[in-house]
């Protein structure tokens, strides 16, 4: 066919507004050009920027995202996963990984390309991109120590989540390195990472009677809960107790008091995960790699030097 004709055809195609039916194409090629994204809690301001990063990374290659929000409910996670798989997504980005989630192992066994984001899993080689949780948590605790605090509590996230586990471990290590006590009553566990999940844990901390002058919360939402509970008990932050969070989520700088927290780039997290997934799907990347994003301390109003 001549060049001229080709152009005429193209013009006609455009004029008629013809667009290939991607459904028929998918049926034939077994590729949906769609990736599933599973997020545990969209109302956590950490995730929207990650999602935007993912979209930015995928859109350039003509991929669309199918979003599922699970409210951290394992049953909903299961359903979301099944729904996405049934819709034949070409791959998935999971921000909701749990430590021993057979779901993920099974999927990998079935050769479904998966990239973990924010959280990772143990003992299974996985593509993943997360914050450097150990280093970040160490930074947070070190900051409190530098301010003169010695009795530092930790409100940990669930230990079946890598973020909960790793941040807690780093806390214990740094405390130990400085020969500081970490009695069991000083390390409490929250039921989850969502707003409100830290309330019960923080109350338990207070009720134990163990004295403390600072607390490292495993994420910003838990840190906010801590501050609420402290206020409830007429303890001021940072006047009486310093609090540091993790994530530097959107708005962390606007709360009262502004949150001292650990920062890393959420948008980058999403973007890198998207690119990793694309490389995985195309077969370019074959060995699972984990990218650790650098963390940094953001000192704001919720921490202060210990009055002596």
Partner DNA sequence: ATGAAAGCGCTAACAC
Partner DNA sequence: GTGTTAGCGCTTTCAT
> What residues from 28 to 57 belong to the interface with a second copy (CB under 8 A)?
32, 34, 42-43, 45, 48-49, 51-52, 55
Number of residues that bind DNA (CB under 7 A): 9
Answer yes or no: are the C-beta atoms of 222 and 164 closer than 8 Å.
no
Answer yes or no: are the C-beta atoms of 148 and 305 closer than 8 Å.
yes
CA distance 306 to 49: 35
Annotate each residue in 200-239 with x if it binds a second copy (CB under 8 A) or - if it does not, as one string.
Answer: ------------------------x---------------
Decide if residue 29 touches DNA (CB under 7 A).
Answer: yes
Decide if residue 67 touches a second copy (CB under 8 A).
Answer: yes
Of the candidates 136, 93, 157, 170, the residue with the CA atom closest to the CA atom of residue 293: 136
Number of residues that bind a second copy (CB under 8 A): 37
Of the candidates 259, 219, 293, the residue with the CA atom closest to the CA atom of residue 53: 293
Decide if residue 16 touches DNA (CB under 7 A).
Answer: no
CA distance 54 to 160: 25
Considering CB distances under 5 to 8 angstroms, the limit depending on partner class, which of a second copy, DNA, none binds residue 29? Answer: DNA
Of 14-22, 61-69, 224-232, 278-286: span binding DNA (CB under 7 A):
14-22
> In 3-state terms, what secondary structure has residue 226?
helix
Q: In what order do the strands lie in the sheet with 187-189?
A: 187-189, 152-156, 214-217, 242-244
**Chosen residue from 25, 78, 176, 231 binding DNA by CB under 7 A:** 25
Of the candidates 66, 1, 75, the residue with the CA atom closest to the CA atom of residue 33: 66
Residues that bind a second copy (CB under 8 A): 19, 21-24, 26-27, 32, 34, 42-43, 45, 48-49, 51-52, 55, 64-69, 71, 83-84, 86-88, 224, 250-251, 254-258
Residues that bind DNA (CB under 7 A): 1, 19-21, 24-25, 27-29
């Amino acid at each position: 066919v001549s060049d001229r004709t080709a152009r005429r055809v193209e013009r006609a195609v455009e004029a008629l507004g013809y667009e290939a039916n991607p459904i028929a194409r998918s049926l034939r090629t077994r590729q949906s050009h769609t990736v599933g994204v599973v997020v545990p809690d969209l109302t956590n301001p950490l995730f929207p920027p990650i999602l935007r990063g993912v979209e930015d990374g995928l859109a350039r290659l003509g991929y669309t995202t199918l979003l599922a929000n699970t409210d951290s409910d394992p049953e909903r996670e299961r359903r979301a996963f099944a729904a996405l798989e049934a819709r034949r997504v070409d791959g998935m980005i999971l921000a909701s990984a749990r430590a021993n989630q057979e779901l993920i192992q099974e999927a990998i066994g079935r050769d479904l390309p998966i990239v973990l984001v924010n959280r990772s899993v143990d003992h299974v080689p996985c593509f993943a991109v997360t914050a450097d949780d150990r280093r970040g948590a160490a930074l947070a605790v070190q900051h409190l120590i530098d301010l003169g605090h010695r009795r530092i509590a930790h409100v940990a996230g669930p230990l079946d989540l890598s973020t909960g586990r790793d941040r807690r471990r780093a806390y214990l290590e740094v405390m130990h390195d400085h020969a500081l006590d970490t009695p069991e009553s000083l390390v409490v566990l929250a039921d989850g990472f969502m707003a409100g999940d830290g309330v019960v844990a923080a109350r338990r901390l207070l009720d134990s009677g163990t004295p403390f002058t600072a607390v490292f919360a495993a994420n910003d939402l838990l840190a906010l809960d801590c501050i609420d509970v402290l206020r409830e008990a007429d303890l001021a932050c940072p006047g009486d107790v310093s609090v540091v969070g993790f994530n530097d989520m959107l708005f962390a700088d606007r709360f009262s008091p502004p949150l001292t927290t650990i920062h890393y780039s959420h948008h980058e997290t999403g973007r890198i995960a998207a690119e990793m997934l694309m490389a995985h799907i195309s077969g370019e990347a074959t060995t699972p790699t984990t990218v650790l994003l650098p963390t940094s301390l953001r000192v704001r109003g919720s921490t202060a030097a210990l009055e002596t």
